[in-house]
Structure 1
Amino acid sequence: MPAPVAVIDLGTNTFHLLIAIVEAGAIREVVHRVDAVKLGEGGINSGRIRDDAFGRGLTMLRNYALQIHENNASPVRAIATSAIRNAANGPEFIKKVAQETGICIEVIDGAQEAAFIYKGIRASGSLGPHRSLIMDIGGGSVEFILCTQSGILWKQSFEIGAARLMDRYHHSDPIAAREIARLEQYLEEQLQPLFAAVKTYPVKHLVGSAGSFETFVEMTGTSGASADNERIKTYHFNLQALAAVMDWLRNSTHRQREERQDIEPVRVDMIVVASLVTAFVMRKSGITRVSMSAYSLKEGVLADVIS
């Protein structure tokens, strides 16, 4: 049996550890962890990892190192994205992690991030011969990829992640109409390259990459097997059900979201701006079909490791 491979995705909001055995093209997960580290909390728009977040990240990676050792996983790929690549003390964090855990963190740029996300979603079977628009909403950045199963037509990463947008625009409870208007005006300005690409490559199908889209699946009341990425890797939304969820989120209070079991604590606040970004992109791009892929960046990195 092949040795397990380990992939760590160090996101702005969550860290992911995937230890898997790949045999005959099939992935068997040994460890799959998602941990709310909140590395960007309080410092996402100031360009610095705060001391408390720095400590949380280091503690979590010590735990990951133990699990990697216990499972004799090799090789190990640890990928850092927006929060670390844009933080003034990101290099300090990387050095400290290497010293204390032996984990060597690889910082990737937005283009590399989008390429890994595409590889992961292609491996899930969510794409076909028709054009699709992949959307990956992170805490620090959002990646968009226009593509087919055969390849990428256009891709770009934008520093408009949910943590950044929440910090800038979501200050009322529930979010105020004026804040939504300011947010959408900002998106209109920032996403001009996307809208130009959609004119060149018209698209009707949106594929959301894990994260917030998994929460949308849970909230439409169709969890269970649909969110089990070992059995079902792709879920297709009923648009009316998705629209109802987005309307509810737009008008919800923090307490109302907190009381729902189908919203993970780490997403209780960021899910609001994530839903607003999704609705805005759907409206501007003429999207008529929406899917969720349970695979994302970490599975793309895994595919890269074993290729």
Structure 2
Amino acid sequence: MAHEPHNGGSPGEMGVRSEPVAPSSADSRPPSFRPRRLYAALDLGTNNCRLLVAKPEGASFRVVDAFSRIVRLGEGLAQTGRLSEAAMDRAVEALKVCRSKLRDRQVARARLIATEACRAAENGAEFIERVKVETGLALEIVDRGTEAQLAAQGCVPLADPNARGVLLFDIGGGSSELVWLLPRGSGKAGGPPTADIKGWISLPVGVVTLAERHGGQRVTAESFGRMVDEVAGMIDAFPHRAAILAQLDHLHMLGTSGTVTTLAGVHLGLPKYDRRRVDGAWLKAGEVDLILGQLLAMSYEERIAHPCIGAERADLVLAGCAILEGMRRHFPCQRLRVADRGLREGILVGLMRADGVWRRPYYRPHEGDRR
């Protein structure tokens, strides 16, 4: 999978279909002779709104446009049970940018999902209707199982093929998923490898909710420990713990979240965040311990000033680290691979695989393929 970011696009009126779009009846050419269509995946979470637009390429795809904005849709949700007007306004404005990109790129197939904040909020359905009215976008609220499956599919290309399995974690704003998976080949459908999920657990906690409960700006060793204890207690009920521990020496962790990419950026000493160096980076257990110690020793102001953290994550990063530590307390793997990818990539793979784009002879060159 290659990324080719492109900025631009302004809000405009349009509607985007999130269901499969059938080929035009006027186009009688077989799939191998049609221009490659563009696909899109949108993930509206508790903290972020993210969009990818991509086209099939080789056995994967190339990202031709991307958008990400921190909107904090779930801000205050744990206290009130509702999405606030200010948070919904921020999310709608970000979604208008996404709508413009979908329109300008003439996307043929898209899946637009909303996760924990909209699942949990009393007014989640009302917000989804508001989005449809104001932007024309039809968001789909997915359950936690679907969220885990999509994250696994998006990240499985980074699994070590020599490992006997992988513990994938996705630390979100309002929920976090831990997935035990085995990477498999792509099979007859072609494309990226697939994920055979052996077991998973979804924790009703994310960086936003945990930071709101325990404080995110002034974090002491004691308050950090309380956060770790809370998360670790949630994993006690994971029924696959014993089976995983029995082969822990042959597994590695694979993390997707702003938390783990921040850890990698700090470890690498990057003067600014660089996805090309972070995505796929390996961290040893001792290196993770060292980075966590560095972050705990920083003041809130120092975290703001750090080029790989910044003001938008300074009050959330330690809550994310506590979630990771709660997982590592149960499953102390010696290796952790970092993924700057996840749900959206999993959506794109699903859409393209359903269309059969990796089945031969789809990629036979033709004159019309000029995207």
TM-score normalised according to structure 2 size: 0.77
Give the RMSD, CA atoms, in angstroms.
2.1
Distance 1:45 1:33 in 2: 29
What does residue 11 of structure 1 align with? Answer: 45
Q: Are positions 1:268 and 2:314 aligned together?
A: yes
User: Which of 147, 159, 173 is the matching residue for 2:204?
Assistant: 159
Can you give the 5+ residue segments of structure 2 that lack an aligned partner in the other structure?
1-34, 185-195, 354-371
How far apart are the structure 1 equivalents of 2:324 and 2:232? 13
* 1:294 lines up with 2:340 in the alignment: yes
Note if 1:213 corresponds to 2:260: yes
Deviation of the 1:177 alpha carbon:
3.5
Take 2:322 and 2:278, find their aligned partners in 1: how far apart are those partners?
A: 26
Amino acid at match of 2:261: E
Q: Distance in 1 between matches of 2:199 and 2:344?
A: 21
Deviations 1:34-56 (A, max 9, x none): 11111111224432111101101
Structure 1 CA distance, aligned partners of 2:206 and 2:352?
A: 29
- Give the partner amino acid of 2:222: R
Counterpart check, 1:234 vs 2:280: yes
- Partner residue of 1:125? 158
Q: Is the 2:42–2:112 contact (alpha carbons within 8 Å) kept by the matching residues of 1?
A: yes
Shift of 1:86: 0.6
The structure-2 alpha-carbon separation of the partners of 1:134 and 1:101, relative to structure 1 and needing over 3 Å to count, comes to: same
Q: Quick check: 1:126–1:293 contact (8 Å CA) kept in 2?
A: no
Which residue is 1:68 aligned to?
A: 102
1:100 and 1:226, CA in 2 relative to 1: closer, same or farther beyond 3 A? closer
2:135 and 2:303 map into 1 onto residues whose CA distance is: 36
The structural deviation recorded for 1:127 is 4.3
Q: Look up the match of 1:186.
A: 230
SS at match of 1:121: helix
Offset at 1:171? 5.8
Contact 1:118–1:300 (Cα < 8 Å) also in 2:
yes
d(CA) in 2 for partners of 1:47, 1:127: 41
Aligned equivalent of 1:105:
139
| Correspondent of 2:327 among 261, 268, 281 | 281
> Once the two structures are superposed, what CA deviation does each residue of 1:137-159 show, in whole Å capped at 9, x if it has no partner?
00100000011103111012111
- The reply to whether residue 199 of structure 1 matches residue 242 of structure 2 is yes
* Cα deviation 1:48-83 (Å, max 9, x = unaligned): 111101101111111111111001012121111001
Give the Cα separation in 2 of the matches to 1:305 and 1:265: 35
Q: Is the 8 A contact 1:249 1:275 kept in 2?
A: no
Q: Partner amino acid for 1:8?
A: L
Q: Is 1:50 matched with 2:96?
A: no
**Matched residues, number:** 303
SS in 1 for 2:83: coil
Whole-angstrom CA distance in 2 between matches of 1:225 and 1:233:
14
Q: What's the counterpart of residue 173 of structure 2?
A: 139
Is this contact kept in 2: 1:119–1:303, CA < 8 A? yes
C-alpha distance in 1 between matches for 2:158 and 2:109:
25
Q: Determine helix, strand or coil for the equivalent of 2:312.
A: helix
1:22 aligns with 2:56: yes
Does the 8 A contact of 1:19 with 1:30 survive in 2? yes
Alpha-carbon distance in structure 2 between the residues aligned to 1:171 and 1:232: 24
CA deviation vs aligned residue, 1:192-227 (integer Å, no higher than 9, x gap): 123x42212223411101421111111012559995
Paired with 1:172 and 1:65, the residues of 2 have a C-alpha distance of 34
Counterparts of 1:181 and 1:232, CA distance in 2: 27
Distance 1:248 1:163 in 2: 21
Give the alignment's TM-score, normalised by structure 1. 0.92
| Matched residue type, 1:183 | M
Distance 1:127 1:10, change over 3 A: farther
Decide which structure has greater helix share. Answer: 1
Contact 1:127–1:148 (8 Å) recurs in 2 = no
Larger-Rg structure:
2
Q: How many Å apart are 1:27 and its aligned residue?
A: 1.3
The equivalent of 1:251 in structure 2 is: 297
Alpha-carbon contact 1:44-1:140 (below 8 Å) kept: no
Deviation (angstroms), 1:89: 1.1
Of 345, 348, 351 in structure 2, the residue corresponding to residue 305 of structure 1 is 351
Question: Contact 2:41–2:52 at 8 Å: present in 1 too?
Answer: yes
TM-fit CA distance, 1:180: 2.6
Q: Match of 1:214, as an amino acid? A: T
Q: Is the 8 A contact 1:226 1:234 kept in 2?
A: no
Q: Is the contact between residue 94 and residue 104 of structure 1 (CA under 8 Å) also seen in structure 2? A: yes
Q: Following TM superposition, by how much is the alpha carbon of 1:280 offset from its aligned partner in structure 2, in angstroms? A: 3.0
Q: Which residue of 2 aligns with 1:81?
A: 115
